Structure 1
Amino acid sequence: MNIISIQNNIGLPKYKQIILSIEKAIEVGKLIKGDRLPSVNKVCLAFSLSRDTVLLAYDELKKRGIIYAIPGKGYYVKSVEITITQKVFLLFDELNIFKEDIYNSFLKNIGKNVQVDIFFHHFNVQVFKKLINDSNGNYT
C-alpha cells in the first residue's frame, strides 16, 4: 500500500489525496501502464475510509483516462499521461467543411491539458447509440 498516502487534517479531501498519490506514483515510475491498483476494499481497510470515498477517486481517474476497471478483477493503469485534466467526447454526424471549422475552433479555444476524442455516427442510429453507451462515464 506504499502507493497511496492519506494524511488527516491537511485540508485536502481524502479522495483527492488518493488521486494525487496515484498520479505521483505514475510520475515517479512506481506505477506503469497495465499495473493493478490496490483494490477498493484494501484501500478502505488500510485507511479506514468509506467505499464511496475510494470509488469517487477511482471514478475521477477513470473519467480522465488514467485508469480503467475490469469488473470482478480490479482497477488498472491505462495511461501514464497524467497532465490531461479533462477528456471531451465530441460526436458529429459526419465530417464536412463546416464541422471541420467548428472542430478546429473548438480545439483552439478549449485550453491546454484537454484531450478531445471525435466520433462520427454517419446518421446510423445503432452506431450513435453504441458510441454513447460505450463512452458513458469515460469523459468529463
Structure 2
Amino acid sequence: MSTASTAASPGRVEELPATDAGVAGYVSDYFATLKMLLDATNVAQIEQVVSILLETFQTGKRLVLCGNGGSGSTTSHLVCDLAKNIYLDSGKVFEVVALTDSPAMITAWANDTDFTNIFAGQARTWLREGDVLIALSG
C-alpha cells in the first residue's frame, strides 16, 4: 500500500500510515494524546464556566458566542443545544446567539467597515450590560 502525502502546514498530517499496523499505531498515539489532555483538564475552570452560564440563564441575560473557522460551527451547535434543550427541560428560554450564524450580517460588517469588525460590530448590537460573550478559536 502506498502513502498519500498532504501539503506541509502546521497541524496537518504529513503522511498517512501505509499499513494497518501504521493506522493502529496512529490511533493508539491519538488516544494517548487525548488521555493526556483529559488528565490535564482543570475541572475547577470548567465548573467556573458552567456557573457563569447558569447565572446568565437564571438572571435572564444573553449569551453571545463567536468563533472562527470550525469553531464558528461549534458555536452554532452550542446555540442549538443550549436553546433547545434548556427550553425542553425547563420551559424557559435561554437567550443565546451565535454571531457566525448570519452570513449576511458578517459580510455586511466586512463590506461596510472592515473584516476585522465582523464580530465586534455585531457584539455591539447584541450585548447588553451583564450579558456574556464567549469567543472560540482553535
TM-score of the two chains, using structure 2 as the length reference: 0.26
TM-score by length of structure 1 reads 0.26
The answer to which structure has the higher strand fraction is 1
**Which structure would you say has the larger Rg?**
2
